[in-house]
């Protein structure tokens, strides 16, 4: 509890220091925060800790959690007094998949590509302005490059990010990318202009390869999935060891681009 670790407790990089904590919050917003919190912790949590975690009053948290549990969006987990996501969210999620050709077929293509190549493969999309891994299939390598589904990563850190922003105006891109997004995990800092240049390149070549961006050991190959001419709706990507040979990389790129193109047609 109470790991002082994060200076954090700044829930969102909002405009200005909103009216000091302590102000009354809309119930729905609290719920949204609860969901995000559970999504990041990825485990069941006690209601008291949850209240601390989302910085909400205990009494409020109890009432909200009760509503959500009654509705089936949350469930009391195993031993008794912990909560986590509930069946209803799973059902709604399946509804989303069913209603979404791209995702349904994309998951399939990703699974197939991963089996075909043995490499980790992922389907990525923009999720409220951020890069999100929507589905991933682990591949067969002894060392797994694990990146959790639903993880959100700054756009400039990834090959997919460069493709997802293709076709946007410079201003839009600037809006989407914050200063800190340009700082890589190892401390290096990208120049915004370089990033925008990358985007333009990716757009014209129809794919993007980045090496050692998120970590020093991997290379990322990405190809765009179009929902309409010029509109990049998603990307498929492969995560491979950084020392993968030129030939092997090109070979993988062909397979990747084939599948990404196949996904594009109907959507």
Partner DNA sequence: TACACATGTCTTTTATAAGAGACAAATTGT
Partner DNA sequence: ACAATTTGTCTCTTATAAAAGACATGTGTA
Among 50, 54, 89, 239, binds a copy of itself (CB under 8 A): 89
CA angle 58, 64, 69 (to 5 degrees): 120
Among 47, 73, 124, 166, binds a copy of itself (CB under 8 A): 73
Q: Do residues 138 and 120 lie in contact, with contact meaning Cβ atoms separated by under 8 Å?
A: yes
For residue 147, count other CB atoms closer than 10 A to its CB. 16
DSSP string over 29-90: HHHHHHHHHHHHH-S-EEHHHHHHHTT--HHHHHHHHHHHHHHTSEEEETTTTEEEE-HHHH
Selection from a copy of itself, DNA, none that 2 binds (CB < 5 to 8 A by kind) is DNA
Of residues 136 through 155, those in contact with a copy of itself by CB under 8 A are: 149-150
11 scored as a contact of DNA (CB under 7 A) = no
Q: Do residues 237 and 252 lie in contact, with contact meaning Cβ atoms separated by under 8 Å?
A: no
State the minimum distance, in angstroms, from the CB of residue 19 to DNA: 7
Options 79-87, 112-120, 191-199, 238-246: segment touching a copy of itself (CB under 8 A)? 79-87
Q: Do residues 219 and 212 lie in contact, with contact meaning Cβ atoms separated by under 8 Å?
A: yes
For residue 232, count other CB atoms closer than 10 A to its CB. 23
Selection from DNA, a copy of itself, none that 58 binds (CB < 5 to 8 A by kind) is DNA
| Of residues 1 and 266, the one with the C-beta less far from DNA | 1
H/E stretch holding 175: helix 170-176
Options 53-61, 99-107, 115-123, 230-238: segment touching DNA (CB under 7 A)? 53-61
Of residues 60 through 79, those in contact with DNA by CB under 7 A are: 60, 62-64, 66
DSSP summary character for residue 12: S
Q: List contacts with DNA (CB under 7 A).
A: 1-2, 5, 22-28, 30, 46-49, 56-60, 62-64, 66, 80-81
Q: List contacts with a copy of itself (CB under 8 A).
A: 26-29, 31-32, 35, 38-39, 42-44, 64, 67, 70-73, 77, 84-99, 103, 125, 127-128, 132, 134, 149-150
């Amino acid at each position: 509890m109470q790991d002082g670790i994060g200076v954090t407790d700044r829930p969102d990089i909002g405009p200005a220091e909103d009216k000091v904590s302590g102000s009354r919050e809309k119930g729905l917003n609290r719920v949204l925060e609860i969901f995000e919190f559970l999504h990041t912790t990825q485990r069941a949590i006690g209601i008291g800790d949850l209240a601390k975690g989302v910085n909400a009053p205990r009494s409020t948290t109890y009432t909200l959690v009760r509503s959500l549990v009654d509705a089936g969006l949350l469930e009391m987990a195993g031993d008794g007094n912990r909560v986590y996501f509930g069946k209803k969210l799973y059902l709604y999620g399946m509804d989303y998949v069913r209603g979404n050709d791209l995702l349904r077929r994309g998951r399939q293509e990703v699974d197939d590509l991963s089996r075909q190549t043995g490499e980790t493969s992922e389907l990525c999309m923009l999720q409220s302005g951020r890069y999100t891994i929507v589905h991933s299939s682990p591949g067969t390598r002894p060392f797994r490059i694990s990146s959790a589904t639903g993880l959100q990563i700054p756009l400039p850190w990834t090959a997919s990010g460069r493709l997802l922003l293709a076709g946007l105006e410079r201003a839009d891109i600037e809006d989407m990318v914050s200063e800190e997004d340009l700082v890589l995990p190892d401390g290096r800092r990208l120049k915004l202009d370089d990033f925008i240049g990358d985007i333009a390149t990716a757009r014209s070549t129809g794919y993007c390869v980045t090496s050692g961006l998120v970590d020093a050991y991997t290379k990322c190959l990405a190809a765009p999935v179009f929902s309409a001419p010029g509109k990049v709706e998603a990307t498929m990507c492969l995560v491979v060891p950084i020392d993968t040979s030129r030939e092997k990389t090109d070979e993988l790129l062909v397979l990747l681009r084939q599948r990404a193109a196949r996904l594009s047609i109907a959507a």
